[in-house]
A and B are shown apart, each in its own frame.
Chain A
Amino acid sequence: MAARRLLSHADSAPNPPRRRVRFTFDGREYDGVEGEPLAVAMLAADRLILSRSFRFHRPRGLMCDTGQCGWCECEVDGRPSVRSCQVPVRDGLVARSEHAWPTVERDLLGWLDLGSRWIPPTFYHHRFLRPRGLRKRYLDVIRGFGGRGRLALGRQAGEARGRVVQELETDVLVVGGGSSGSAAADAAAERGASVVLVEAVRDRARPSRPAVRVLDGAAAIGWYEGVVLALDDSTSWTIRAGSVIAATGSYELVPSVRGADRPGVIGARRVLDLVTSHFVLPGERALLIGEPGDLPDVGAALVEAGATVIGPVPAASLRRVLGRRRVTGATIDIDGLRRREAVDLVVFGDRTPNLDLPLAAGAAVESRDGVLVPVLDAAGRTTVTNLSVVGSAMGTATARDSGPVPTGRTLVCFCEDVHAEEIHAQVGAGYRDPELVKRRTGALTGPCQGKYCAQAFARTMADAGVPTDGLPTARPPLRPVRLGDLVPSGDSDER
């Protein structure tokens, strides 16, 4: 069982036929189709493991469809920790895995995961003090385990291609150009308001009214007291708006079971994109998990591509995903009967609202059936006066059955490999403040900044007896940004 390219589909691909390119990953040559994301080309070559998790070197691969989970990070052409699902392959591209020894496929440090029970986030608190003479050596060793990407030292300051800083004032700013965002922009323009729409994915925003000014390819990276900063390839936009509408959609809700981070557990929309746009079949035997939503389409596409499909089954019935280096099966409970299915692909459809803007703005969120959603009035306004939310970011289309509450050795935070029992241990030790739990466990502090764990964190805290409304303060930026992309152009030394 393996992931593979659907050659028959590729042959019938639309004109012009896409060119084959060759790139290297960890020194080995691979074929790809020009323009497809690096992570997709690797999947087509049945290379599922793209990175290792920070603490316990758990294998990770392509999972999300938003570019935000960070599980596919590797070094690309000398740049550290690049999300390979966002990088188009081309001839001569050189990619390397990070944070693994000797290779990301067979990382000996992966053995750390077997001992993770004895390496809690606070492992150093009462250790490494004796003998006195070895204190620095201990920390040198710990330091050696840290880090991820390599900093390319000795570069010349050539590129100095800063972003032009542009300030915009508008009545309405819509963040996100999907169907809800485009519709909201049109509606505002119809009322005679000046409207700016930012959308990170090019050619996606399709408002029908020409009066809507679209900043195509501009990603909103921060909310600063109502001012939104957005970046595209050439410009840094500072947008002051009378009102801001978040049409930012949703993120995958990774099932809260053990093994849910294994390569081969992939969100439904990404699977659909893989099969129907890139003609790559991510697995031969798939288990579909969650409320129907996108899943019937995914199931049909998989079947048409020749895969065997099981489900969809409710998220609550999934007990565990099996396999160490990739998915080899899953345990599900149906009508009280435990079944073990041999599958090489687990597709989950449940999603949670994207809370990035409401949280950054300091708007209230609440738990609805175990899912955090923004607190909204009848008009869709958050508790921050000039911020409202439309579409799936409201939480209307999210799962009502959010699956099991994470417990025991189930991961809550994937960036930092924080297990549910470690959060319980902190609360039990009297650290009930979410800010302290965050600091003591590292949960919510990794590169995804809580996008993929805020929900599980809140549910685990509630399970431990701390109300869910207490998420730690969100910090900008809304998404990771390369430092060089923040440089204003024509900048001179300020004195």
Chain B
Amino acid sequence: MTLPRTADVVIVGAGIGGLAAARELAARGVRRIVVLERDYPGSGATGRNVARIRRMQLTEGLCRVAVACQDKYERMGAELRSNVLFYRLGYAWILYDQGEVERMRDIVAMHARLGIRSALLSPADTLHHLPVFEGGEPVAGSVLSDDAIVHHDAVVWAHLDHLHRHDVTIRPHTRVTGIERDDSRVRAVLTDGGRIETPVVLNAAGGWSGELNRMAGVRMPNRPHRREVLVTAPLRRSIEAAVTFYRPSEGWFNQTLRGEVVMGAVDPEEPPGVDQRSSWAFLQRTAALMTRKAPALRDVTVIRQWAGMYDITPDHLPIIGPTAQLAGWWQALGWSGRGMLLAPYLAELLAEHIVSGDAPSMLRQFLPDRFPPTGDDEAPIETDYYSRYGSGSTSGSTAGSTSATVPPASTVTSSGKTTSKPGA
């Protein structure tokens, strides 16, 4: 199979970001889309996460986006004609500190304003709803919502089948080896399977997106950080929510539809870098944390562990859109652990932007040029999402600085030129 020599859009990465973008571009009449994947589709973070699709977020800005994202998932099965196993398992933050409980009152009120069905539960109600925590570290309460999980692989296959029907070229096991550009704009993508000339490249390479940006001479502040997961032998349904706790240490677990328990304890000291290796320290850390909080879990059987990457940005919001640094070079990266949730909907906005040349208003908070191109590439990123919002502001930082960072119109239109014929 030889690669096409030219394309209208080349998407690098066949994870959820790249596949969803391909779907939305094709839906807007863009032809000759080529998706390149270094391994197999869904081989990175997309195939390694636990696909929690939650509206319940800590800030209003993110909640508003997440509501649209969850709606997108609810429609996805019917739209793509393939079930992605969207299931309202429920979602809970377990709180261990009275201060956290107080802080959550405002957040639950904010959820109610946005139509997100969440509730603050007392310690007794928490144990009643989630008896798995009985006998463990005393809880101070919880926030419970009716949020959902999907099956990550089913999401990938639904997209693959759909893209196949729409003649989108997907090339697995093809590595990008270089980017051809002139002073201002991108010209071609070089791969181990040949050169593809294209006016538009979308970097959707997840944990490898920093490497790809460097090939193109583009600077972005995102960094990959390893996150690990383990899964147990299946159990009868007994945990009626996907749970997360942020403090005093971060961890999470939930049951899949098959009954397996997936879980993980986060290492706050995890260094940045591309790393998908499993560690024994993770097993011990997770076992210690989970059995302390939920002693019933000590008898579950671990059958497998794996690792994937969070591609984290300084503000924990993804980087979506064009950049003034290089015309024709688009970004869909830095998902900061929320790619599964955000990508399908944000891909819709991104495709709109690529095709029309104008950024939809909901996309503005995610535009790449909110970060200065001269940023220090070595500066460490605070990986603790929760701490950023620890001060108690529910409006969050997401709406703050957007208007100033909308890129100059010229950048947008030049890159949109060849693909701006919707329905053509």
Q: From the candidates A126, A148, A480, name the one contacting B302 in the complex (CB within 8 A).
A: A480
State in angstroms the CA–CA spacing of A423 and B39 once bound together.
20
User: Is A440 an interface position by the 8 A CB rule?
Assistant: yes
Could you name 8 residue pairs across A and B whose Cβ atoms are closer than 8 Å?
A: A125-B157, A143-B87, A146-B259, A153-B296, A236-B284, A475-B278, A487-B284, A487-B291
**Of listed A160, A229, A482, A483, residue having the most chain B CB within 10 A:** A483
Contact in complex: A155, B83 (CB < 8 Å): no
- Tell me which of B54-62, B183-191, B233-241, B405-413 binds A: B233-241
Count contacts on A: residues with CB < 8 A to the other chain. 67
| Given known contacts A146-B237, A147-B234, A155-B135, A483 and B300 CB-to-CB distance under 8 angstroms | yes
A285 to B: closest C-beta gap in Å: 35
Q: Number of contacts between A and B (CB, 8 Å)?
A: 203
| Given known contacts A151-B235, A152-B296, A165 and B284 CB-to-CB distance under 8 angstroms | yes
Q: From the candidates A135, A143, A150, A484, name the one contacting B298 in the complex (CB within 8 A).
A: A484
User: Is B403 an interface position by the 8 A CB rule?
Assistant: no
Contact in complex: B237, A147 (CB < 8 Å): yes
Contact in complex: A139, B291 (CB < 8 Å): no
A148's closest neighbor in chain B, by CB?
A: B234
State in angstroms the CA–CA spacing of A483 and B153 once bound together.
26
B77's closest neighbor in chain A, by CB?
A: A129
Binding site for B on A (CB under 8 A): 54, 78-81, 124-129, 132, 135-136, 139, 142-144, 146-160, 162, 165, 222, 224-225, 227, 229, 236, 238, 433, 435-436, 439-440, 445-447, 449, 475-477, 480-488, 491, 493-495
B279 contact set on A, CB distance < 8 A = 224
A439's closest neighbor in chain B, by CB?
A: B153
Contact in complex: B304, A475 (CB < 8 Å): yes
B166 contact set on A, CB distance < 8 A = none
Contact in complex: B235, A148 (CB < 8 Å): yes
| Given known contacts A146-B259, A477-B302, A487-B291, A128 and B83 CB-to-CB distance under 8 angstroms | yes
| Given known contacts A126-B82, A433-B172, A447-B303, A154 and B157 CB-to-CB distance under 8 angstroms | no
B259 contact set on A, CB distance < 8 A = 143, 146-148
State in angstroms the CA–CA spacing of A79 and B87 once bound together.
28
Contact in complex: A483, B257 (CB < 8 Å): no
Contact in complex: B302, A481 (CB < 8 Å): yes
User: Is B272 an interface position by the 8 A CB rule?
Assistant: no
Give the contact-size bracket for chain B. Answer: 35 or more
Binding site for A on B (CB under 8 A): 39-43, 47, 77-78, 81-83, 85-88, 131-132, 134-137, 153-154, 157-158, 172, 232-239, 248-249, 256-259, 277-280, 283-292, 295-306
| Given known contacts A150-B236, A154-B131, A476 and B305 CB-to-CB distance under 8 angstroms | yes
State in angstroms the CA–CA spacing of A124 and B303 once bound together.
25
State in angstroms the CA–CA spacing of A227 and B278 once bound together.
12
B249 contact set on A, CB distance < 8 A = 493-495
A227 contact set on B, CB distance < 8 A = 280
**Of listed B82, B249, B302, residue having the most chain A CB within 10 A:** B302
Contact in complex: A54, B234 (CB < 8 Å): yes
A25 to B: closest C-beta gap in Å: 19
Contact in complex: B83, A238 (CB < 8 Å): no
A361 to B: closest C-beta gap in Å: 12
| Given known contacts A127-B83, A433-B40, A482 and B299 CB-to-CB distance under 8 angstroms | yes
State in angstroms the CA–CA spacing of A78 and B237 once bound together.
16
State in angstroms the CA–CA spacing of A484 and B303 once bound together.
13
Contact in complex: A482, B298 (CB < 8 Å): yes
Contact in complex: B88, A136 (CB < 8 Å): yes
**Of listed B172, B234, B280, B306, residue having the most chain A CB within 10 A:** B280
Contact in complex: A483, B284 (CB < 8 Å): no
A148 contact set on B, CB distance < 8 A = 233-236, 259
A229 contact set on B, CB distance < 8 A = 280, 283
A481 contact set on B, CB distance < 8 A = 283, 301-302
State in angstroms the CA–CA spacing of A129 and B157 once bound together.
16
